[in-house]
Amino acid sequence: MQKQSLVHAKAVTATAALSLLLTACGGDDAGSANQAEGDNGGASSADFECGSGESVLSGENVRLVVGTDPGGGYDAYARMIAPLLGEELGAEVVVENQPGAGGLSAVNSMIAGEKDGTNLMIMNATGNISSVLAEVQGASFPVGDLTYIGRVAREPYVVTGAADGPYENWDDVIAAGDSPKIGSTGLGSEAYINGALINELFDLEGEVIAGYDSASEAELGLLTGDIQLFPGNIDSRIKQIESGDAVGLLAIEPEPIEALPDVAAVGDYDLSDDKQELFEAHLALSEIGRPLIGPPGMDEDATADLRGAMRCVFENPELEAAAEQQERPVSYLTGEETEELAKQSASPPDIYVEFLKDAYGL
């Protein structure tokens, strides 16, 4: 079916966005992401020797906290990298699940914990940082001051519908003019924010349902017709699409994604200037993805070794094999690169802040 109002994507790609953000933050100065210097001092992650099993954390027990129940994507990524990170550090990295408040409880607990490198978390950046920007109660942590070890993954988001549902493509959704129910995994989740975003960008007037405890529950709701749309990470949605139970309707990206090249992207549509600004601000936040973080002011030697060990983990073919086997794509960024993205996201345009406050009902 021919798309309506198709234009070339005006939003910048993720790679270009990162380049622009880093240039704006200092180009080739000492703060550049191309350097391996930490902001806390002279300790350098470049000095870390892969495979040595030696670090300032050798012999320690390191907690890697997940702000969700076992079994989800964040839990899977944490358990995939934990043993390899432990080998590089010469430490025991133990995954702990601390669900509650969309991960905010775990973030606040981590911030209040030890700053010696033994207290880490894999964070839902889109959900948790958006809560801070919207000034949600209990979300007041300093985004730019967290210690960023590196980005684990950043998967494209895609909106799906049931294969036997009312929509075959995104043009059908726009043309229907109805008020679809949009599934999400709780207030402040990535799915919730993305559901609110597509409402705003396309004037859908849909109802974002925040009552699902997991993506699998939302998927079931899609198949039973309780919801008509569900925005999710491509890695969690692709199996339903490939099985024929669901159809991809829209990639929340500047351009179609490799896994679903025939599915329209937000960037294919001619948005107003305000909506384009909103979309690009959202992309800048979503680019942080799933980062590994520590509390503000973490020990500089531990920070350098953790960043170095993280680099080694993502150079390890064992991780590549595990990611492929589990169908969990990884997209590593250094701690310095991730930190720059986070600092940029902490000062978004007013239009994005107002959107988030409206989404949270504030």
Q: Are 256 and 268 in contact (CB under 8 A)?
A: yes
Read off the tokens for 69.
């129940």
Q: Are 292 and 342 in contact (CB under 8 A)?
A: no
**DSSP states of 254-301 as a string?**
SS-BTTBTTS-BGGGB---HHHHHHHHHHHHHHTT-EEEEE-TT--HH
> In 10 A of CB 139, how many CB atoms?
23
pLDDT in tens, the chain (362 residues): 333 322 223 333 344 444 444 433 444 443 333 344 444 445 678 889 999 999 999 999 999 999 988 888 899 999 999 999 999 999 999 999 998 877 888 999 999 999 999 999 999 999 999 999 999 988 888 999 999 999 999 999 999 999 999 999 999 999 998 999 999 987 888 899 999 999 999 999 999 998 787 788 888 999 999 999 999 889 888 889 999 999 999 999 999 999 999 999 999 999 999 999 999 999 999 999 999 999 999 999 999 999 999 999 999 999 999 999 998 999 999 999 999 999 999 999 999 999 999 999 87
DSSP code for 156: P
pLDDT, position 3: 32
Which H or E run includes 136? none
Distance CA 169, CA 59 (A): 54
pLDDT, position 348: 95
> For the chain, which domains are there?
36-154+288-347 (3.40.190.150), 157-284 (3.40.190.10)
Tokens 């969309």 label which residue? 102
pLDDT, position 174: 96
Distance CA 110, CA 300 (A): 17
Q: Model pTM?
A: 0.84
Q: Say which residues have a Cβ less than 8 Å from residue 273's Cβ, sequence separation at least 6.
A: none
Read off the tokens for 66.
């997940």
pLDDT, position 199: 96
